[in-house]
Amino acid sequence: MKRMPVRAGRPTIIDVATEAGVSRQTVSRVVTNHPRVAPATRVRVEKAIATLGYRPNRMARALVTQTSLTFGFAAIDMRDPHFGDTCFGMQVAAREHGYYLVVTELDFDDDRGLGTLETLLTLGVDGVALFPSILSDSDIEQFAASCGCPVVMIGRASKVPNVVSIAMDENAAAELVVDHLVERGKKRIGILMNEIFPEVVHQRYVALREAISNGTAVATAAVEAGYPRIAQGRIAATTFLQRGPDLDALIGFNDTMAMGALLACDDLGLRVPQDVAIVGYDGIPFGALTNPPLTTIVQDSIGMADAAFRSLLSCLEHGPPPEGKVLLWEPELLIRGSS
């Protein structure tokens, strides 16, 4: 398979040096803003750069400096607005600091995504921010130990050595949700969750069960394989409601699943919130438009993304936290029509 030469004809530092009549090192100094360059020379070099349209090759630079100004960002499905918003937040922060993001979807078939992460490393990223999803804490620990760059995980609060973990306070969130539902007179609360996120689900599930056990309501769980998109949530909720013990409230693992539940209620002729109250997690913007609008636990995706970026930067400067570090975010309950 022959290929046309890629990036053909892009001028190199040598071309600029020749054009400006200096050595490549001088050009390098100009490009990297080194102070020891005579003003006249600097001008000459800058003119040559402009003339030739020169842009330094960041791969070559990275090879020498061992720094690519590139971070990896990995999540299970960017189509989910929660991940998308987080990705956006990291983009914004990255741009501000001259960084680029290599974005990748974690592929379950590929050793739970570890293979994809490993390959990501070969691109020379300076750090990795990821939603652990299906990866366990020990997976993450092992990855962080061998990858040779800072690792930040978003969405699960775990003290993993050398890893910064950014997550919402699940206990506070669960309390907000359950208190709210109990206040609304709901007694039989179902938890609509997905077994493919054992650890996240576990944290959220445990928190919810605990919160519920303080009240009078009954908890149950429904699970459904496959990434939780609207359709999956609809199927899971339908099954759940049909065989469930007369549920009067449903808590979705995320807004997308909760939206599926909204559709399921519609399918089954159940009124929301009178017959079944529905609450989601994440606070994606589209939740404001559903019928009825979705009550949800709002996560500050952009803020968390920004923190993730800053944490990576900080790890690069001061090293990663040896015993791990957890940044906890306060949840906010946004009450709308669905509850």
Partner DNA sequence: TGATACGATGTCAACGCTCACACTAGGGTG
Partner DNA sequence: CACCCTAGTGTGAGCGTTGACATCGTATCA
What is the footprint of DNA within residues 46-105 (CB under 7 A)?
54-57, 60-61, 63-65
What's the min distance (Å) between Cβ of 146 and DNA?
15
Q: Is 138 or 146 the residue whose CB approaches its own copies more closely?
A: 146
Angle at which helices 39-52 and 13-20 cross, to 10°: 120
Q: What is the DSSP letter of 338?
A: T
When asked if residue 119 is in the footprint of DNA (CB under 7 A), the reply is: no
CA distance 312 to 310: 5
When asked if residue 25 is in the footprint of DNA (CB under 7 A), the reply is: yes
From the list 13-21, 150-158, 226-234, 241-249, the region that binds DNA by CB under 7 A is: 13-21
When asked if residue 105 is in the footprint of its own copies (CB under 8 A), the reply is: yes
When asked if residue 299 is in the footprint of its own copies (CB under 8 A), the reply is: no
Q: What is the DSSP letter of 106?
A: P
3-state SS assignment for residue 281: strand
Dihedral pair phi/psi, residue 164, rounded to 5°? -95, 130
- The interface partner of residue 14, options being DNA, its own copies, none and the CB cut-off 5 to 8 Å by kind, is DNA
- The interface partner of residue 114, options being DNA, its own copies, none and the CB cut-off 5 to 8 Å by kind, is none
Q: Is 2 or 36 the residue whose CB approaches its own copies more closely?
A: 2
**Tokens 């070099």 -> residue:** 45
When asked if residue 102 is in the footprint of its own copies (CB under 8 A), the reply is: yes
Q: Is 33 or 122 the residue whose CB approaches its own copies more closely?
A: 122
Q: Is 37 or 327 the residue whose CB approaches DNA more closely?
A: 37
CA distance 123 to 126: 9
When asked if residue 35 is in the footprint of its own copies (CB under 8 A), the reply is: no
When asked if residue 26 is in the footprint of DNA (CB under 7 A), the reply is: yes
Q: Which of 50, 59, 206, 335 binds its own copies (CB under 8 A)?
A: 59
Q: Is 52 or 235 the residue whose CB approaches DNA more closely?
A: 52
- The interface partner of residue 185, options being its own copies, DNA, none and the CB cut-off 5 to 8 Å by kind, is none
Closest by CA position to 184, among listed 270, 283, 256, 276: 276
Please enumerate in sequence order all residues whose Cβ is within 8 A of that of 210, keeping only pairs 6 or more positions apart, or say none.
171, 174
Strands 332-334 and 295-298: antiparallel
CA distance 145 to 149: 9
Q: Is 243 or 318 the residue whose CB approaches its own copies more closely?
A: 318
Closest by CA position to 304, among listed 74, 49, 88: 88
From the list 35-43, 74-82, 190-198, 203-211, the region that binds its own copies by CB under 8 A is: 74-82
What's the min distance (Å) between Cβ of 61 and DNA?
4
From the list 29-37, 160-168, 259-267, 271-279, the region that binds its own copies by CB under 8 A is: 259-267
Residue 82 in tokens: 């929660």
What's the min distance (Å) between Cβ of 233 and its own copies?
11
- What separation, in Å, do the N-terminal and C-terminal C-alpha atoms of the chain show? 59
CA distance 201 to 160: 18
Measure Cα distances from 281 to 219, 249, 251, 252 in Å.
Answer: 17, 14, 8, 7
Dihedral pair phi/psi, residue 166, rounded to 5°? -115, 120
Residue 241 in tokens: 């409601």
- The interface partner of residue 29, options being DNA, its own copies, none and the CB cut-off 5 to 8 Å by kind, is DNA
Q: What is the DSSP letter of 285?
A: G
- The interface partner of residue 232, options being DNA, its own copies, none and the CB cut-off 5 to 8 Å by kind, is none
**Binding to its own copies, residues 139-198 (CB under 8 A):** 146-149
Q: Which of 8, 185, 245, 269 binds its own copies (CB under 8 A)?
A: 8
Residue ranges binding DNA (CB under 7 A): 10, 12-14, 21-29, 31-32, 35-41, 54-57, 60-61, 63-65
